[in-house]
Every structure is written in structure tokens, then in C-alpha cells.
Amino acid sequence: MCAIFGIAGAEEASNLTYLGLHALQHRGQEGTGIVSTNGQEPFAHKERGLVGDIFSVAVISKLQGHSAIGHNRYSTTGGNTSENLQPLLMKSSLGWVSIAHNGNLVNSKEITKRLENEGSIFQSTSDTEVILHLMARTQERDLVKALIQALTQITGAYSLLVLNQNYLIALRDPQGFRPLVMGRLHGKPVFASETTAFDLIGASYEREVLPGEMVVVSLKDNFSIQSLRPLQDISPKRCVFEQVYFARPDSVVFGSTIYHTRKNMGKQLAKEQPAPNADIVIPVPDSGVYAAIGYSEFSKTPFEMGIIRSHYIGRTFIEPRQSIRDFGVKLKLNPVAETIKGKSIVVVDDSLVRGTTSRKLIQHLRDAGAKEVHLRISAPPTAHPCFYGIDTPTKKELLASSNSIESIRDFVGADSLGYLSLDGLLKVSSSSAGEGFCHACFSGDYPTPTFNN
Ligand code: SF4
């Protein structure tokens, strides 16, 4: 998962891109970058670190021009190195081209091997570079045509922003795994992974870039817009995990506000997995808060913030280093003893992946005096890895891949454990965001071939 943001025809394009990336920081924290243009040459800056730390006034003032694209990186394919930071910027027979990618190409290893055998030299280990090489190798001299030819060879998840001196192009793969939305600022187009970026810069949300749609903005024709459907239509497979976990609750993703979708997941969870004797419902903050509100409302059990989260530590799930992931659950999540002492509590979280954090947290709750702990998860068991841009652990590391619900309950030390069913999750998601979700990490039903992954 990464964040992308793009804007055309704006007075302060790079400054607005910086703000957009800031609002999308939750989608990737390893590094960030912006490439801007004045319609002739590119200006670029990328660095490892957080948006607020990397882009100073001095840096932004060098990123000139009316149009820009930006990226926050969260590594999936390729490692956490500075060569893999985006937007990538390359020169070829097409002139300079820059690209920012959210997603993961499932056939990138095969294509890279073939291109290397044919003499291509890759500058990074990121799958995104494959797209630039495929474009450069076409006979086309027009960016739009070259990009369309490249797209016919790639499979997987990609929401892309592509920039050169003539165009800003926004597009989504035909299944639309990762989100991408379009808005307007002073009548000019703006694109982002989530609408929360529009809120910050005062842009209005217009619509989703549709699965399989390519929106072409001409930088040479008063930023006019053309919508193309260059690839064969197939049924959409939007990532349901965006709604469960990744997107910000104040964003509209796949046509619905995440806050309400998560609350409804909690209501459905309470319907399916009641805990009749519970005294209070408490969330694992921040991710479990919205589902816990829904659970509390439906079950008519009081909601309490019984665990306090320190905001000075990153989200455990997004950290790629095992040494950090296991470090200090108590440092991050601390029970409020007076609230939970002697009570039977329902603890609501949005996912249970390895189970190590939940196990430690439940022990802390018992140490703080909880009488009973009933764990409720507002998603089905995560039993399969993702190949479409979410850095889930390998199948072996996923607790639910080889354990029954009863043995998971025993491992985490809860008095009871209940998950939202897949049918329940899809019912809630579909009613708010239309049909057509990928749910492979829960069901193992992968919507594309997974090649050598
Ligand atoms: S496998 Fe899971 S995380 Fe990956 S795209 Fe599908 S629903 Fe999303």
C-alpha cells in the first residue's frame, strides 16, 4: 500500500502535492517524493522519511511548475532502499517520464527477467520500473499510446499517476484493486488515493477513477480532460481490506465513507458474535474504534476507551522489521485499570494477523483486573497472503492459515473469540460501495493468476 497524489494547472502544484501527501501519510511512511513540471523540464525530490520532515520551504521552492505528482512509499515488491522511492523519473526515447504507483504487479518478476535477458538495465528493484521499461521499448513516441501498450503486458494491482511534459495521466487496473479518486481545485483536476487529501487542500471530490479507466489531462491544451477505456473490461475486485483497515476513516473510498462502513461492520459483528454478559465494549485504538462504536450501539453495551494508545509510535502492522513489530505493546497500548477492573469486557479490533500483539494486550488487560475478555474481530480470519500491494506476512506466519478459531482463542488467551463472517463483511461493504471486492486474504480466492509469488 502506498499513497499517490497528482495535480495539474495549479499555481502552487508542488506545495499542494506536499499537503496532499501529508494527508495520506498513513498509507506509507518509508519515504516520499514529488516530481513537478512547468510543461518542459522535470523537477524532482525524494528522500526516505516522513512528508513533514522531508519537504521544507527550500525544497518545495525548487519543485517548480504548474503540475506535479507525488508518492508515499510503503514497500511491498523491492526493498526499503532510496532507489525504490517514487515517483520514478527516467529518460528514454519518449523523453522524460515520471511515474507513481500504488499496488503490486504479480508478473513483474517474469517481465524483469525477460527484459534483462534482452539487455535492459534496471535502476531499482521496484516492480514499477517494469512499466517504464515496457513503455520505452514500444515504437510509440506518444506517452498515452506507449503506456497503453505497456499495460497490455502487466497483471495485478496498479493505480498510477504518470507525468511528462505533455500529460498527467491517472489510471486504475481493470479490477480496481487500489483506490484512486478525482477532484477539482479551481476547476483544474486533482487526483489522490483517498479523498482526505482533497479536504486538506480545499478541493472538491468529483468521483472515483473507475477500474480500467485512464484519465488523460493535457498540459498543452488548457488542462483539458479525456477519459479512455483502453483495456478489456473485467469485473471489479476492489480491495475490501482498504475498508477494514487501511484507508483513513474520514475518507470516501470506493464510494463510501470509511467511518460509516467500519461502524456497520461492528454492528454486523455484534449481530453475528454477541457477548451477552459483557459490561463494556472497548476498542483496540485506533483501528478498532469505529467497529467498537457499532458493536456497542447494536448490542446496547456501554462503550468505553479502556485502552489508551501512545501516538508517538508507528502502527505495528506497517513496520516491516520484526524487531520493531514485537517491541513494546505496553508502550503503545495501555489499559485504563479503573475502567476495566472487575468487568467482563468485549475488546474489538479490526484484524488479527500473527496474534502476538493481541496475546500480550489480553494479558495486560487481565493484569489490570479484567474479569473476562471476549475478543471480537471486525473481519474474517486473515489466512492467505496478499499479492496486490498489502504487505501481509507469509502464509506460514498468518495465525489463521493453520489454526482453528478455538486454538487461536487459546493462543491469545481470550475467554471467547469471534470473527465477522465473510458474507457479513461483503454485505456491509457492498451496501455502501457497490459490488465487486477482492477478499483473497480471507478466502484464498485470488482474482488473478499469482505467477511465481
Ligand atoms: S488479498 Fe486482501 S489485502 Fe490483498 S487486495 Fe485482496 S482483499 Fe486486499
pLDDT tens, position by position, 311-357 = 776 554 455 555 544 456 767 888 999 999 999 999 999 999 888 88
Segment 77-100, tens digit of pLDDT: 556 678 889 999 999 888 999 999
Segment 108-118, tens digit of pLDDT: 999 999 988 88
pLDDT value of residue 289: 97
Which is more confidently placed, 328 or 387? Answer: 387
Sign of the Cα torsion 220, 223, 226, 229 reads positive
pLDDT value of residue 215: 98
Give the pLDDT mean for 186-210: 97
Question: How many angstroms separate the CA atoms of 204 and 184, rounded?
Answer: 5
Question: Which pTM does this prediction carry?
Answer: 0.92
Pocket test for ligand 1, best of 177, 253, 382, 395 (most atoms within 8 A of CB): 177
Segment 236-280, tens digit of pLDDT: 999 999 999 999 999 998 888 999 999 999 999 999 999 999 999
Q: Look up residue 22 and give its amino acid.
A: H
Give the pLDDT mean for 224-239: 92
Q: Which atom of ligand 1 is nearest to the CA of 392?
A: 3
Residue 395 Cα to ligand 1 midpoint, Å, equals 14
Of 404, 289, 282, give the one whose Cα is nearest residue 347: 282
Task: Check if the beta carbon of residue 331 is closer than 8 Å to that of residue 325.
Answer: no
Residue 350 Cα to ligand 1 midpoint, Å, equals 14
How many other C-beta atoms can be found within 10 angstroms of the C-beta atom of residue 117?
A: 8
pLDDT value of residue 325: 43
Question: How many angstroms separate the CA atoms of 6 and 267, rounded?
Answer: 36
Residues 6+ apart with CB under 8 A from 173: 103, 156, 157, 158, 159, 211, 212, 231
Of 360, 407, 365, 378, give the one whose Cα is nearest residue 280: 365
Q: Give residue 283's Cα distance to chain centre.
A: 22
Closest Cα to atom 5 of ligand 1: 239
Ligand 1 — pocket residues by CB below 6 A? 177, 239-241, 386, 388, 390, 438-441
Q: Which atom of ligand 1 is nearest to the CA of 437?
A: 7
Dmax (CA) of the chain: 73
Burial of 85 (0-12, 13-18, 19+ CB in 10 A): buried
pLDDT value of residue 79: 62
Integer CA distances (angstroms), 94 to 124, 133, 195, 261, in order = 20, 11, 32, 43
Q: Based on the residue annotation, tell me whether 2 is a catalytic residue of this protein.
A: yes
The percentage of the chain sitting over the pLDDT mark of 70, rounded to a whole number, equals 93
Question: How many angstroms separate the CA atoms of 132 and 254, rounded?
Answer: 28
Pocket test for ligand 1, best of 1, 240, 245, 384 (most atoms within 8 A of CB): 240
3-state helix, strand, coil in the chain (%, to 5): 35, 25, 40
pLDDT value of residue 9: 97
Residues 6+ apart with CB under 8 A from 25: 3, 50, 51, 52, 72
Q: What is the CA angle 172-386-179, rounded to 5? A: 25
pLDDT value of residue 221: 96
Segment 416-439, tens digit of pLDDT: 999 999 999 999 987 555 569 999
Segment 282-307, tens digit of pLDDT: 999 988 999 999 999 999 999 999 99
Pocket test for ligand 1, best of 177, 394, 441 (most atoms within 8 A of CB): 441
**264-289 burial, b for 16+ CB within 10 Å, e for fewer?**
bbbbbbbeebbbeebbbbbbbbebbb
pLDDT value of residue 326: 43
Look over the chain and give the mean of its residue pLDDT values, rounded to a whole number.
Answer: 91
Task: Check if the beta carbon of residue 386 is closer than 8 Å to that of residue 398.
Answer: no
Task: Check if the beta carbon of residue 269 is closer than 8 Å to that of residue 294.
Answer: yes
pLDDT value of residue 314: 53
Query: Cell triple for residue 284?
Result: 483496540
